[in-house]
Amino acid sequence: MTSTPSRNYQQIPVLGTGGTISCTHSPEGDLVPTLTCADIVNQARIPQGFQALPHDIMSIDSSSITLPQIDELVAHIANFCSPTPAGIVVLHGTDTMEESALAAACALDLPCPVVFTGAQRPGDDAAPDGPANLSRAFAALASGELSTGVHLVFGDAILPARGAYKAHTTAETAFRNALIDSGKHDDGSPSPDGTVLPPLQVAGLYVPIVSTFAGDDGQLIRALREQNKRQPDTQVGTEVGAVDGLVLAAMGSGNIPTAVAEELEAWRAERTTELPVVVCSRVPTGGVSFVYGGTGGGAQLARAGFRSGGAMRPSQARIELLYELARAR
């Protein structure tokens, strides 16, 4: 439950964005967001000495979150960083939690820990997991062991945001971290100097993810290429629909079909600005190793200037590329 206000309490803003943690069943049996952030906070255990300050930022299904809404969420997190609290908690849907959490990490030089959490079961379930996850988020902040930066606290897991991905659609511990699983973890968090700068914004940029598959003849890339011909690329992000960068969910250790590679090379050759392409693997763990030769092989892609996404999942590699492009515009 929320704590009685006191000047001796450490205040923790709790930002509600919707998601399963805020959902109950409609008369038709559908899950819809109906619970406020305060409703959820009142069901959680807040450690002694802490006060939860609930704020409803938005109420959406996270699968529908847009880049402008990610910018909005990041801006709210930045606003609540001044004066610096003991931490910030964000209640978020699990479908895109990994993307919003990494966006906050990329956009902000945070002076305090930020924890994202949510739920796999709705609030009117016989055994909802949302209040317990919020309690765990507060316990993690109260422990003093979380570094500045962004973390996911969900089920039994406490994970850095960078590398996190949803690994199970129903399990209580829904998230894993691909960088940790691959032994390559480096959260990349800068050391904050206490100054909260205006956050970067990614609205207006377009970076699609294209998954490759057996028999892929490059039609998806060709469609993007034709679309891009109708849009100027003289300035990054100036036109909706212009492709500013691309993430590939490649096969194995980072290989794509010959036809896809040839289509990409033709597209990059005809552009007047660079098309950054990040290659990830559709395999959950292990990451990219550019070792195979031939057109579409990882070694050839590396020589052509394609970038390795390492062990990052495509969803997060896209977020990192978006913020790289945002810094350049």
Q: Which residues are annotated as a binding site for substrate?
A: 62, 94-95
HEC profile for 182-195?
A: CCCCCCCCCCCCCC
Work out the angle between the directed axes of helices 219-229 and 258-270 (0-180°, nearest 10).
10
**DSSP 8-class letter at 113:** E
Q: Would you list which residues are annotated within the binding site?
A: 62, 94-95
Q: Which of the residues 17, 94, 117, 212 is marked catalytic? A: 94
**Nearest of 321, 315, 318 to residue 167 by alpha carbon:** 315
Beta strands 209-211 and 175-177: pairing type? unpaired
Long-range contacts of 186-193 (CB under 8 A, 24+ apart): 186/162, 187/105, 187/147, 187/149, 187/160, 187/161, 187/162, 187/163, 188/105, 188/162, 189/105, 189/110, 189/147, 189/148, 189/149, 189/150, 189/160, 189/162, 190/109, 192/109, 192/110, 192/111, 192/148, 193/109
Check if 94 is active-site.
yes
Dihedral over alpha carbons 24, 27, 29, 33 (to 10 degrees): -30
Whether 295 sits among the annotated catalytic residues: the reply is no
State the catalytic residue, choosing from 2, 4, 17, 20: 20
- Measured CA to CA, the distance from residue 309 to residue 287 in angstroms comes to 8
DSSP 28: T
Q: Could you give the CA distance from residue 166 to residue 95 in angstroms, rounded to a whole number?
A: 7
CB 240 within 8 A of CB 203: no
Write out the catalytic residue numbers.
Answer: 20, 94
